[in-house]
Structures are given as structure tokens and as C-alpha cells.
Amino acid sequence: MNLTYLFIVNPVAGLGRNHLIEDMIHGCARTCGCDAEIIYTKGPGHAAEIAQKAVEEMRATVVVVGGDGTVNEVAAVTMRTGTALGIVPGGSGNGLARHYGISMKPYNAIHTALLRNAVIQDAASINDMVSFNVSGIGLDALIAHKFDSAKTRGFNTYMKILLKELPGRKVFHLDVETDQGSNSGEYLLTSICTASQFGNNAVINPHGSPFDGLADLVMVKDVPFYGVPSMLYRAFYGDFSRSRYVTTRSFKWCNIKSETALPLHIDGEVRGFHHEFKIQSLPRSLYIIVPKHVTQKQEKRRYRLQHESGF
């Protein structure tokens, strides 16, 4: 096993443009008494190539310095291998990092990665693409498409696009079949969740667990415009799942069909338009490094207490 920590840095992400990132990585590695290597990505798909070589070299740890898209790209390679994935958040939303409470401060996140406290989380396959956090169909995917082509990034840009799209929002008829049953309905958006949030602490699946062997559907019906502020408040400060417009269902497998081709995003990255979505839970798929106080047992207990208390 190669014990040198490999840092894959996306130079397009905000943090990747920070010329101090190399000094922080090497300085923290010296403090922890370990070796670190840094490779910068050169374009889409390059992070996966670097990760594949790392797996072949039997690297113990690969650390992504970047956003949700780069995390997904690398995780899809390291899943179901002996290579653990660390995250130094450097993107716009950083949903999976925020779910686990990984620090948004680079030095602290690097230190967490080097401590290598790893848990094994689930994933979900969607049309043969893998999601490790939150993916979606409908309005959120449409916003992801527009955000992808925006000239600026960040939370403010995302919110501007959302508020611009809400007045002309459309609902779509979906036929949904899971191992737990079937239903049909008109939905504004449908999220496929392994973890809890889109990013920026917008929590859409507060009671979901990445350790229960199941994926979750969070289906949102059309919300009257006057109800939008309340829904946004619930996402950032309350319990989104308790809204009367929201239905949540856990499953092992799920098929969703639509007569209209709908946009899809995988962990925030656009993945085209589809009429059918074949989804499968992938239990215990990814070794991921989390803060030292987080363990799978603690996470499971936290989600169980949330369910029992109704928070």
C-alpha cells in the first residue's frame, strides 16, 4: 500500500486558484509526519484519470481539493476499492463536505484528511452514473444546467437563477415505481439522496442516512409563490421534509418515467435530459474521510434520534 497522500487539485475551483494551497498541504503534512503529492487537473475527466492511476498504485488516500463535481468524479473511481477519499472543500456548494461537517477552512480540512478517520458510506446508481450526495430531476436540475453556463459561481449566482426561474416553473407528471410501492403525480422536482443537502447548508433530506443501505426520494409538489419563502426557510433553518408539499420515500431500487425529457444533475453536475431514470442503491460503496468525532455508529444514532423526535 502506497501511504503517500495524493492531493488532486482542481485549479478552476476557487480554492484551487489560491497560490498558498501547496504551502498549506505540505506544511500540514510535515506537521502530521506524512508525505504528500499534489497533481493539478487539466480539464474534465482528468481527475478520474489521476484517481484511476492512484487506485492502480494502491494509494491509501486520495484527497480532492475542489467542488462537488470533482469529488464525484474521483469518488466514482475510488468506490469499492481500498483507497479512501478525503475532501478539502473548494467549490460553490460543497454539499457532501458540509453533510459531514468538514471544515470550510482549507488548513483544517487538510488536517482532517491527513488524520484519515474513514467511514464507509452508501451511493446510488442513476442511469449507470453514480451519485454520492444529492442528485435530481426537474427544477433543481434545470437550475444546475443554467448555473453550469453562468459567468460567475457561488451561492449568490445560484439564488439569482432560482428566483428568476420560480415564476415560470413547471411541474411534470412522473410515474414512480420502487421496491416499496408505486405512485404517479405532478412534481416540481424530485431529488435522489444518499446524504442530506444540495450544498451551502440547504438541507433537503434531513433524516436520510448514508449508512442505512437505502437511497431516498424527496418529491416536491408545486409550491404556490407565496409559499416559496417558507420552503427556503425550511431548507436552511427548519425541517424541509415536514412541509405538506414534500414526500420522502426510502428505497433499494426505483424506476421513474416521464413523457417529457427532464433535466438530470448528478451531485450538482449536469447530465443531460432523460425520459426514464433507473436508480439503484449501492450500500457500503465509498471509504470517505470525515472529522475525527464522526463515526458510522454516531451518524446512525443521530439519524435514529431525528426520526424518533420528529426534528
Strands, DSSP E only, in the chain? 5-9, 36-40, 61-66, 84-89, 118-126, 129-131, 134-138, 172-178, 181-187, 189-193, 215-220, 246-251, 253-266, 269-289
Of 73, 92, 116, the one marking the end of a domain is: 116
Q: What is the pLDDT of residues 50-78, one digit of tens each?
A: 999 999 999 999 999 999 999 999 999 99
Q: Hey, is 42 helix, strand or coil? A: coil
Same domain (yes/no): 31, 56: yes
Instruction: Report how many domains make up the chain.
Output: 2
* Cβ–Cβ under 8 Å, residues 249 and 174: no
- In this prediction, residue 164 carries a pLDDT of 82
d(CA 71, CA 96): 9
Same domain (yes/no): 91, 156: no
- In this prediction, residue 271 carries a pLDDT of 94
CATH code for the domain in which residue 9 is found:
3.40.50.10330
Residue 124 domain-assigned (yes or no): no
pLDDT greater than 60 at residue 306? no
Percent with pLDDT over 90 in the chain: 71
Report the range of poorest mean pLDDT among 119-133, 143-157, 217-231.
Answer: 143-157
Q: Grid coordinates in use for 168?
A: 415560470
Q: What is the pLDDT of residues 214-236, one digit of tens each?
A: 999 999 999 988 888 899 899 99
